[in-house]
Amino acid sequence: MNDAGKDSDGGLSQYPEVVQFTGVMKTSLKPVHFSSLLLIIVGILVAISLYPTGLLLLIAFLVLVLLYESWMIRKSEREIRISLLLREDPVGAMQGLDRVGEISTGFIETGMEYPNELGFRPSSNRELIVWTFDSKEDAQLAAKRLLEYLPRDKGNQ
């Protein structure tokens, strides 16, 4: 203990080293949209050069693009398992053995539908992300630690 009555780690030893949660990862669809746009441009060029049969090919290109886009939209969201390193300052995050980064900015929402959930908004103009912890206690520990330096979410939508 130091003179202030705290541990040498700033009181972080009161927290478990790691808590885990399940979240949803949303991948960017910009490359998919770009390739779809290129496919539509090629379809238009074929339709113009092979008129009137090219119109049927354009319709086939459009159907192909719509099917590809809908398939990629469904695949763009998947559940991932994240570990929060509560004894780091700021709190670190890992996915498996890979370090994802640190949670140094954002907003925390504790009033979620289920007691083992915690809401995180990376910035005021972003969507609220729901983290589902293994237990209510893990969610409370993570919230307590993150609220030491992050503000509560004011319900920005």
Average pLDDT score over residue span 54-71: 89
Question: Which pLDDT score, from 0 to 100, does residue 76 have?
Answer: 87
Q: Which amino acid would we find at residue 73?
A: I
Residues 137 and 109 in one domain: yes
Residue 92's nearest CA partner among 82, 103, 81 is: 103
Question: Which pLDDT score, from 0 to 100, does residue 157 have?
Answer: 44
Average pLDDT score over residue span 73-84: 89
Domain count, the chain: 2
Residues 81 and 122 in one domain: yes
Residue 145's nearest CA partner among 5, 10, 4, 22 is: 10
Compute the mean pLDDT over every residue in the chain, rounded to the nearest whole number: 86
Please, which pLDDT band fits residue 138 given cuts at 50, 70 and 90? very high
Question: Which pLDDT score, from 0 to 100, does residue 75 have?
Answer: 86
Residues 91 and 131 in one domain: yes
What's 112's domain CATH number? 2.30.29.30
Average pLDDT score over residue span 26-34: 86
Residues 85 and 118 in one domain: yes
Give 112-123 as a 3 state SS string.
CCCCCEEEEECC
Please, which pLDDT band fits residue 57 given cuts at 50, 70 and 90? confident
Residues 19 and 93 in one domain: yes
Residues 87 and 66 in one domain: no
Cβ neighbours, 10 Å, residue 108: 21
Question: Which pLDDT score, from 0 to 100, does residue 6 have?
Answer: 44
Q: To which H or E segment does residue 84 belong?
A: strand 77-85
pLDDT of 151 strictly over 50? yes
**Predicted model pTM:** 0.66
